[in-house]
Amino acid sequence: MTELLARRNAAFGAGAPLFYEHPLHLVRGEGVHLYDAEGRRYVDMYNNVPCVGHANPRVVEAMARQQATLNTHSRYLHEGAIAFAERLAALHGKQIESVILSCSGTEANEVALRMARFATGRRGILCTNATYHGNSELVGSLTRLGSQPSPNPSVRAFPFPEKYRPIAPNLNEAQLCEAYLAELGKAIEDLRRSGDGVAAMLICSIFANEGLPDVPAGFAARAAAMVREAGGLVIADEVQAGYARTGKWWGYEVTGFTPDIVVTGKPMGNGLPLAATAASRALVEGFRARTRYFNTFAASPLQAAVGMAVLDEIEQRDLRGNVTAVGAALKAGLQARRGASEAIGDVRGHGLFIGVELVRPADGSPDVELAKAVINRLKEKGFLTSNAGIFANVVKIRPPLPFGMAEAEAFLGAWDETIAELAA
Amino acid sequence: MTELLARRNAAFGAGAPLFYEHPLHLVRGEGVHLYDAEGRRYVDMYNNVPCVGHANPRVVEAMARQQATLNTHSRYLHEGAIAFAERLAALHGKQIESVILSCSGTEANEVALRMARFATGRRGILCTNATYHGNSELVGSLTRLGSQPSPNPSVRAFPFPEKYRPIAPNLNEAQLCEAYLAELGKAIEDLRRSGDGVAAMLICSIFANEGLPDVPAGFAARAAAMVREAGGLVIADEVQAGYARTGKWWGYEVTGFTPDIVVTGKPMGNGLPLAATAASRALVEGFRARTRYFNTFAASPLQAAVGMAVLDEIEQRDLRGNVTAVGAALKAGLQARRGASEAIGDVRGHGLFIGVELVRPADGSPDVELAKAVINRLKEKGFLTSNAGIFANVVKIRPPLPFGMAEAEAFLGAWDETIAELAA
C-alpha cells in the first residue's frame, strides 16, 4: 500500500484526490459490490457512474461487441448514434429535441453555457454559491464561490436555497422562498447593471453539491421564471440528478421546473466517458452554426451502443421503481434513527441519493470531523460512502441503482453501530 | 440514406459535421478497412484514432476484460492507472515525470494552459494563426485566428512557419527562419506590453492543422528558447503528432524541440476517450494544489487497460518501424508523381501523415474545389482521405498505423487514376 501510494504520488503528482484515511485498493466490482486487494467485499453506497451496477454484463457485452464491430468519429453516418440521441431527447418534454454528445460533464456544461450565450447575445451566468459543474476554465469559474467574486467577471453566485440553515431566521416556507428569490433577483440586477445581462442560470436540479438541501416549495419554478423574464435560459445540470437517481428520470421533475437546456453525464455510459447537452433544435443548430462543434470521441458507435445498453437496463429492470422503493425505505430508516444521536442534524434527499447532516450538538454547527470518522468507520464495516456539502459534514449516500432492500437493511445495522461507537 | 440524414439533422441538429459529398454510412471496420451499409470495402487513409487498427482484437479484449472486472473513478487506489501513467511518462525525456489523465484533447489542453498560467503567474498564450487545439471556451479561443484578434484578450497568434508559401519572398532558409522568429518575437513583445506576459506557447509539434508545412530548419528549437527567455513554458500538442504517427514516438522529435508540457489524446485509447497532460512533477503538483483537479471518467481502470493495450500493440508489432517504412515509400511515391499534374503543388509530411497541396496551375493559388473533388473521387475508388490546411486544399493522408505496403501501392494506383481524371 505504501509503495503503491508513493508510485501514485510520482505518477499523478501528489494531491490527486483519494478517498478515506486508509485508501482503498480496489481490484474487482460486481453489481453493488466492490472488492479490495485482500479480497474484502464492500457494499458500494457511493458510486453513481456505474449506475446499472459494476461490471454490468449487458454493458460489457454491448461495449465489446461494438468495439469489435466499428468505432469511429461522427463525421460518417451511423444509425446507432442517431438512435441514441433520439431516445435521449424523447426522455424529456417537447422542448428538448436535439442533442450534442460529448465526453464529460465539463464538456457538456461548456456547450450549454456557450449555447446560451450565443442564443441570448448576453454573457452573464448565474449559479449558486456552493456548486461545482466541471473543471474547465469557464465552467470551473462557477466552483464553490461562497461570498467571493468569480474569477470570471460575467458570473454571479446567489445563495443556494435550503430549509436547514435558512438565510433568514423565523420565516415560514413561503417567506423563505421569497427571501432566496430576492437574492437571485439581486444577482440578476447586478448582471444587468454590469452590461453583461443574463445568458443563463446553471443549476444542479437537486443542488447535489450544495448538500442535497430541502428546497422551499416553488423556488425552482419561480427562479426559472425570473431568469426567463430577464432574457436568460435555464440550464438543468442533471449529471448527478438525472438518470433515475431520484426515482424519476430527471431531477427537475423533483424540484419542479422546466429547463431550456439539459446537461447529462456521469451515469450515461456506466463508466464509459459519455455526456450530452440537450435542447431545442433551434438552440442546438444556433450553437452548431457558430462553432462548427466537433468532438473526436463523441457520438461514436461505442458511446451509442453503451448508452443504449444503460437505458435498456434502467427500463427493463425497472430501476426507477427500485430506486423509489428502496430509496424511500432507506431514507425512512435513517430518519427514524435521528433520535439515536443529537449529532444527526438532518436526513434528506431523493430516491437513492440521501444526505445525513452531522452537527455538534452544542450549537448545531457542522461537524466535519465526525462526518469523516463516520465514513471511515462505515468503510471498515464494509460500506462505502463519502462526505459532501458546503461544510463537508454531510454523509453522502448514493449507491448504484440496483441497490436492494437487503443491502439497505444491512447498512442500517452498520449505521447504528457506527453512530453508537462515534456519536452516542 | 435520405431518411437517415433527416433523422440525423433532427437528432444532432443540422450543421453537425459530415464527410463527403455523399456521406458514408459505415457499419463495420477491421484493421485498415471500413465497410459501408452496402458491404463496400474502403481502405481507411484518414483515421488516426483507431491507431492500431479498427476493431483491434487486443484492444477489444482489454476493454471487455477490464469493464467486466472493475471500472471506477480514480479516488481509489488502482495499480493499472498508476502503471499506465508511469509508462506514458517514461516515453518522454527526463523532464516529463507525472501525468494528469483526462478524456479529450480539449480537456488535456485546458489543463496544460492553466498549468502554465499557475506556474508562471502570467496569462499570455501564444499559438499559430491557423491552429486548432480543442473546443472549450479557453482552448477554442486559439482556433484559426488568421489575422483577427482572439476573443480571449490574453491570446496572441503568430504566423505558422512554412516553406511553401513563405512569409517573405526571396529568402534563403536561414533568413526565412529568422523572419518567422521575428513574428513570434512581435507577439511576445505585444503580450509583454499588455501586462499579461507569456505563460505558454501551445503548438502542434508538426503543425498538422496548418497543413503539415515543411518548417525552416531550427525554427522550433529557437522558438522554444525565445518563449522560455520570456518566462513562458512550451506546450507540445501531440494529439495528432504523437503516438508513432511520424515513425517516432513524438512529433517534437521530428521538428526538434523539448517541451515542458506534452498533451496527448486521439490515438491513446483506439477510440476510447483518453487524453493526458504530462509534465514535471513540480508543474503537475503545482496545478493540483491550485485546482484539486478531479476528472470523473479519467485515470480509470478502463482507460489504463485500453491505454496499455494500445502501447503494447505499437511496441510489439513494431508499428513505428512500419510507419517509417511505409510512410517513406508512400511519400516517395507521391513525390515521384508530382510531374503528373501542375495542380500538385507540394507533397510533404512525416511518417504516415502526408499532405498533398493542390493548386491552380495558372497562379499557384489554393484549389479547394479540386481537393474536394479528389477526396470524393478517391472515396468512390475505395480510399478514404480528407482535406485540410488553412485553405482546405491539402489532401490529408493519415491511415491507421498498421497500414501496409500493399495498401500504399493500391492507393498510388487510385491516385494516378484520380489525377488523370480530374487534374491532368
Q: What's the CATH number where A331 sits? A: 3.90.1150.10
Sequence-ordered list of residues with C-beta below 8 angstroms from that of A175, at least 6 positions apart, any chain: none
**Number of compact structural domains in chain A:** 2
Nearest-by-CA chain A residue for B54: A70
Average pLDDT, chain B: 97
pLDDT of the residue at A283:
98
Q: Name the maximum alpha-carbon separation found in chain B.
A: 64
Q: Where are the beta strands (DSSP E) in B6-113?
A: 26-30, 33-36, 41-44, 98-102
A300 touches chain B (CB under 8 A): yes
Contact between B11 and A98 using a beta-carbon 8 Å cutoff? yes
Alpha-carbon distance A75 to nearest alpha carbon in chain B (angstroms)? 4
The residue from A282, A298, A316 where one domain ends is A316
Q: What is the ipTM of this complex?
A: 0.97
Residue A85 sits in a domain whose CATH number is: 3.40.640.10
A94 touches chain B (CB under 8 A): no
H or E element that contains B128: strand B124-128
Contact A72, A302 (CB under 8 A): no
Alpha-carbon distance B359 to nearest alpha carbon in chain A (angstroms)? 26
Alpha-carbon distance A241 to nearest alpha carbon in chain B (angstroms)? 15
Q: Are residues B201 and B342 in the same domain?
A: no
Residues above pLDDT 90, as percent of chain B: 99
Residue A200 half-sphere exposure, CB side, CA atoms within 13 Å? 25
pLDDT of the residue at A120:
98
Which residues 137-176 of A have a C-beta within 8 angstroms of B?
Answer: 137-138, 140
Alpha-carbon distance A10 to nearest alpha carbon in chain B (angstroms)? 6
DSSP string, A218-265: THHHHHHHHHHHTT-EEEEE-TTTTTTTTSSS-HHHHHT---SEEEE-
pLDDT of the residue at B299:
97
Contact between A299 and B25 using a beta-carbon 8 Å cutoff? no
Q: Are residues B308 and B400 in the same domain?
A: no
Residue B138: its chain A contacts at CB < 8 A?
A: 136-138
B78 touches chain A (CB under 8 A): yes
Q: Which three cell numbers stand for residue A142?
A: 462557477
SS3 B287: helix
Contact between A18 and B76 using a beta-carbon 8 Å cutoff? yes
Q: Residue B156 pairs with which residues in a beta bridge?
A: B126
Nearest-by-CA chain B residue for A109: B136
Contact between A272 and B68 using a beta-carbon 8 Å cutoff? no
Q: Are residues A126 and A258 in the same domain?
A: yes
Confidence of residue B152 (pLDDT cuts 50, 70, 90): very high
pLDDT of the residue at B279:
98
Contact A113, B136 (CB under 8 A): no
The closest CB to that of B63, out of A67, A265, A297, belongs to A67
Distance CA A157, CA A159 (A): 7
Q: Are residues B171 and B308 in the same domain?
A: yes
pLDDT of the residue at A299:
97
pLDDT of the residue at A239:
98
The residue from B295, B316, B337 where one domain ends is B316
Q: Where are the beta strands (DSSP E) in A120-160?
A: 124-128, 155-158
Contact between B294 and A60 using a beta-carbon 8 Å cutoff? no
Q: Are residues A261 and A358 in the same domain?
A: no
Pairing of strands A344-350, B198-204: unpaired
Q: Are residues A136 and A178 in the same domain?
A: yes
pLDDT of the residue at A101:
98
Q: Residue B328 pairs with which residues in a beta bridge?
A: none
Q: Is the model's pLDDT at B1 over the cut of 90?
A: no
Q: Which of A41, A46, A75 to mutate to test the interface with B (most CBs of B within 10 A)?
A: A75
Q: Are residues B377 and B345 in the same domain?
A: yes
Q: Which three cell numbers stand for residue A234?
A: 435555464
Q: Are residues B361 and B284 in the same domain?
A: no
Contact between B138 and A137 using a beta-carbon 8 Å cutoff? yes
Q: Is the model's pLDDT at B424 over the cut of 90?
A: no
Distance CA B279, CA B299 (A): 16
Sign of CA dihedral B284, B289, B293, B299: positive
**Could you identify the residue written with the cell 499579461?**
B196
pLDDT of the residue at A261:
98
Q: Which of B46, B296, B306, B379 to mutate to test the interface with A (most CBs of A within 10 A)?
A: B296
Q: Is the model's pLDDT at B386 over the cut of 90?
A: yes
The residue from A283, A316, A349 where one domain ends is A316
Contact A378, A199 (CB under 8 A): no
The closest CB to that of A28, out of B16, B50, B70, belongs to B70
Q: Is the model's pLDDT at B327 over the cut of 90?
A: yes
Residue B132 lies in domain: 57-316
What is each CA distance from A206 to A190, A214, A252, A398, B115, in whole angstroms?
A: 25, 9, 7, 13, 32
Pairing of strands A233-237, A198-204: parallel
Q: Is the model's pLDDT at B111 over the cut of 90?
A: yes
B86 touches chain A (CB under 8 A): yes
Q: Which of B109, B297, B303, B386 to mutate to test the interface with A (most CBs of A within 10 A)?
A: B297
Distance CA A145, CA B401 (A): 47
Tens-digit pLDDT string for chain A (424 aa):
899 999 999 999 999 999 999 999 999 999 999 999 999 999 999 999 999 999 999 999 999 999 999 999 999 999 999 999 999 999 999 999 999 999 999 999 999 999 999 999 999 999 999 999 999 999 999 999 999 999 999 999 999 999 999 999 899 999 999 999 999 999 999 999 999 999 999 999 999 999 999 999 999 999 999 999 999 999 999 999 999 999 999 999 999 999 999 999 999 999 999 999 999 999 999 999 999 999 999 999 999 999 999 999 999 999 999 999 999 999 999 999 999 999 999 999 999 999 999 999 999 999 999 999 999 999 999 999 999 999 999 999 999 999 999 999 999 999 999 999 999 8
Q: Are residues A283 and A358 in the same domain?
A: no
DSSP code for A54: B
Pairing of strands B386-388, B394-397: antiparallel
B423 touches chain A (CB under 8 A): no
B302 touches chain A (CB under 8 A): yes
Distance CA B351, CA B206 (A): 11
Residue A49: its chain B contacts at CB < 8 A?
A: 72-73, 296-297
A414 touches chain B (CB under 8 A): no
B91 touches chain A (CB under 8 A): no
Contact between B136 and A29 using a beta-carbon 8 Å cutoff? no
What is each CA distance from B71 to A378, B169, B272, in whole angstroms?
A: 22, 57, 13
Contact B157, B128 (CB under 8 A): yes
Q: Are residues A100 and A160 in the same domain?
A: yes
A114 touches chain B (CB under 8 A): yes
Confidence of residue B239 (pLDDT cuts 50, 70, 90): very high
Q: Is the model's pLDDT at B105 over the cut of 90?
A: yes
Distance CA A106, CA B297 (A): 11
pLDDT of the residue at B380:
98
CB atoms within 10 A of CB B339: 8
**Could you identify the residue written with the cell 453493488?**
A32
Alpha-carbon distance B250 to nearest alpha carbon in chain A (angstroms)? 20
Q: Are residues B251 and B123 in the same domain?
A: yes
A73 touches chain B (CB under 8 A): yes
Contact between B78 and A26 using a beta-carbon 8 Å cutoff? yes
Tens of pLDDT, residue by residue over B36-78, are: 999 999 999 999 999 999 999 999 999 999 999 999 999 999 9
Q: Phi, psi at residue B272, to the nearest 5°?
A: -75, 130
Q: Are residues A176 and A281 in the same domain?
A: yes
Q: Is the model's pLDDT at B195 over the cut of 90?
A: yes
CA angle at residue A173 from A168 to A177, to 5 degrees? 70
Which residues 320-379 of A have a C-beta within 8 angstroms of B?
Answer: none
**CA-wise closest residue to A401 among A26, A31, A89, A19:** A31
- List for chain A the helix, strand, coil content (%; round to 5): 40, 20, 40
Contact B84, B308 (CB under 8 A): yes
pLDDT of the residue at A172:
97
Q: Is the model's pLDDT at B9 over the cut of 90?
A: yes
Confidence of residue B295 (pLDDT cuts 50, 70, 90): very high
Residue A112: its chain B contacts at CB < 8 A?
A: none
**CA-wise closest residue to A160 among A121, A130, A115:** A130
Q: Which three cell numbers stand for residue A401?
A: 441503482
